[in-house]
Amino acid sequence: MSEDHEIEETETGTLPLDAWHRGKGGRMVEFAGYWMPIQYEGIVAEHEWTRTNAGLFDVSHMGQLMVTGEKAAEELEKLLPGAISTLKPGRVRYSLLLSEEGGILDDLMVTNATPWIEGDEEAGTEGHWGEPAYYVVVNGAMKWDDIAHLREFLDDEVTLTHMDEHALVALQGPNAATALNRVMRGVPEQLVFMQSMEFQFGEWPLRITRAGYTGEDGFEISVPAEYAEALCDRLCAEIEVRPAGLGARDSLRLEAGLPLYGHDMTDAVDPVSADLAFALTKKRRETGGWMGFEAVSAVLESGPKERRVGLAIEGRMPAREGAEIFAGERRVGRVTSGGFSPTLGRPIAMGYVATEHAAEGTELEIAVRNKRLPAKVVSLPFVPHNYYRGS
Amino acid sequence: MARYFTDEHEWIDVEGDTATVGITDYAQGQLGDIVFVELPEVGSVIDKGKDAAVVESVKAASDVYAPISGEIMETNEALEDDPALVNTSPEEDGWFFKMTIGDKGELEGLMDDKAYKSFCDSL
């Protein structure tokens, strides 16, 4: 492992697009140790714009890591419950970092970013895949812990690079592809949901991934920090694109049923209870060899005691994180994310409910202040996903 | 009619023994899109500084405290169907509740329009 100096976060940091946000009228708040825009013109307006056109989100607080080396895949497989060695170049997978106890340390996206090396006729070499490389994007608030965890457990022959001189922006919405195609002609058609590519845009080396955290079609673009402002200006020059802040990002992901680390999952929750068993690749559930395997297998065997569910709430009063969920007089769960759905025009929530009360359609109550709000267990997402999986 | 302001960004219109209470334009701007307002029960008696209402924006819930002590006489039913009135007309149609003025002395020390404006400018 290459050694980096220890960084102790004390003051609120600024990210490459800080001045750009302020220039656009972004209201800056402290988030994950950085100043980030919570909103520009308003959360609901940005939310609705993203659902109908395209919102541009700065997610540069997230940790962008590159894991390289001949043994990179097998080393990552010691820590991730997903299949990495069979992940083809250019493919993206959602995965989890787990503790020995099976708790979720973080959730992440891992991309096989192994480069294709062109052949050289004069030198007599053929085209071939270069050194295996995996691009990993982790949560901003967890990245320092994640880096420490990876450094501790990955073999020394594997190199972990923190790409802290890169910004990350997400262009999200039904018109994201149309807008991106006008700026970078031909790029969107080369990708479907959960695919990723390097793209040389003039002098800018970009990594473009068709994924996101809104439930919409869209792209995440990793860009060297010095070009981030110019890239955002280029994208926002398109009529479909407007900047959107963390507030809209949160309400969009809640509607899309996507869990948020530190709220809807923590190190006290296993992936089965968190309804993230899809991240446990079938084959690897049998073969094991990943941290947390025994603990998670036990839950798979016995079934989870509680489960993350969606909750549709009657009336207009939202239930927030921490609100207790009742079946009659019995407390059976708690809300972990809750708010108002601009798309549906009513409150929605996610929470953990004892398995015997977690079936779809179960009628429950949520305690908010001195009231009991009628709520029903519903399937997630609240608003259908609109991913592009090819025509 | 006199209008007073608190440092919690409420406005209070005083007419005789009755006060109409709402939150200021500055407050609604800070809260953002308001999706629900929980109003106090008519007939309840609330002491100055105690919870009187809750304003829910997309993002969070915020308490509104009673600016003075008194009995709630009427609440703004229009906010039930259209809580966004607090955003669009915070200091008129988006009023929260009317209350009796238990102690006129409590009005002393509240800000007038000019003082409130310079208070906001200083934030």
Q: Over the stretch B5-32, which tens digit does the pLDDT of each residue have?
A: 999 999 999 999 999 999 999 999 999 9
pLDDT for residue A11: 87
pLDDT at B68 exceeding the cut of 50 = yes
Taking the C-alpha atoms of residue A66 and residue A210, their distance in angstroms, rounded to an integer, is: 18
- Centre a 10 Å sphere on the Cβ of residue A389 and count the other Cβ atoms it contains: 10
Range A18-60+164-255 classified under CATH 3.30.1360.120: yes
- Centre a 10 Å sphere on the Cβ of residue A143 and count the other Cβ atoms it contains: 23
Taking the C-alpha atoms of residue A279 and residue B33, their distance in angstroms, rounded to an integer, is: 35
Domains of chain B, CATH where assigned: 2-104 (2.40.50.100)
pLDDT in 10s for each residue of chain A, 391 residues: 444 555 555 689 999 999 999 999 999 999 999 999 999 999 999 999 999 999 999 999 999 999 999 999 999 999 999 999 999 999 999 999 999 999 999 999 999 999 999 998 888 889 999 999 999 999 999 999 999 999 999 999 999 999 999 999 999 999 999 999 999 999 999 999 999 999 999 999 999 999 999 999 999 999 999 999 999 999 999 999 999 999 999 999 999 999 999 999 999 999 999 999 999 999 999 999 999 999 999 999 999 999 999 999 999 999 999 999 999 999 999 999 999 999 999 999 999 999 999 999 999 999 999 899 999 999 999 999 999 999 7
Instruction: Determine which of B33, B34, B64, B123 to mutate to test the interface with A (most A C-beta atoms within 10 Å).
Output: B33
Q: Among residues 50-69 of chain B, which lie with CB inside 8 Å of chain A? A: 54, 56-61
B contacts of A323 (beta carbons < 8 Å): none
Taking the C-alpha atoms of residue A72 and residue B118, their distance in angstroms, rounded to an integer, is: 60
User: How far away is chain A from the Cα of B112, in angstroms, using its nearest Cα?
Assistant: 28
Tokens of A224: 């060297």
- Could you write out the DSSP letters of every residue in chain B? -EEEE-TTSEEEEEETTEEEEEE-HHHHHHH-SEEEEEPPPTT-EE-TTSEEEEEEESS-EEEEE-SS-EEEEEE-THHHH-TTHHHHSTTTTT--EEEE-S-GGGGTT-B-HHHHHHHHHT-
Residues B111, B4 contacting (CB under 8 angstroms): yes
- Centre a 10 Å sphere on the Cβ of residue A233 and count the other Cβ atoms it contains: 11
A contacts of B26 (beta carbons < 8 Å): none
Taking the C-alpha atoms of residue A180 and residue A189, their distance in angstroms, rounded to an integer, is: 10
Q: Sign of the C-alpha dihedral, residues A265, A374, A339, B24? A: negative
**Exposed/middle/buried for residue A282 (C-beta within 10 Å: 0-12, 13-18, 19+):** exposed
Cβ <8 Å between A369 and B59: no
User: How far away is chain B from the Cα of A68, in angstroms, using its nearest Cα?
Assistant: 39
Tens digits of residue pLDDT in B93-119: 999 999 999 899 999 989 999 999 999
Kindly identify which residue of chain A lies nearest to residue B83, measuring between CA atoms. A316
DSSP label at A357?
A: G
- Residues A305-391: name the CATH superfamily: Aminomethyltransferase beta-barrel domains (2.40.30.110)
Cβ <8 Å between B59 and A43: yes
Q: How far is CA B75 from the centre of its chain?
A: 11
Q: Is B82 on the interface with A (CB under 8 A)?
A: no
Taking the C-alpha atoms of residue B50 and residue B64, their distance in angstroms, rounded to an integer, is: 8
Per-domain residue ranges for chain A? 18-60+164-255, 305-391
User: Pick from B38, B59, B80: which is nearest to A339 by CB?
Assistant: B59
Kindly identify which residue of chain A lies nearest to residue B28, measuring between CA atoms. A42
Q: Sign of the C-alpha dihedral, residues A179, A183, A186, A188? A: negative
Residues A157, A67 contacting (CB under 8 angstroms): no
pLDDT for residue A2: 45
Taking the C-alpha atoms of residue A308 and residue A358, their distance in angstroms, rounded to an integer, is: 8
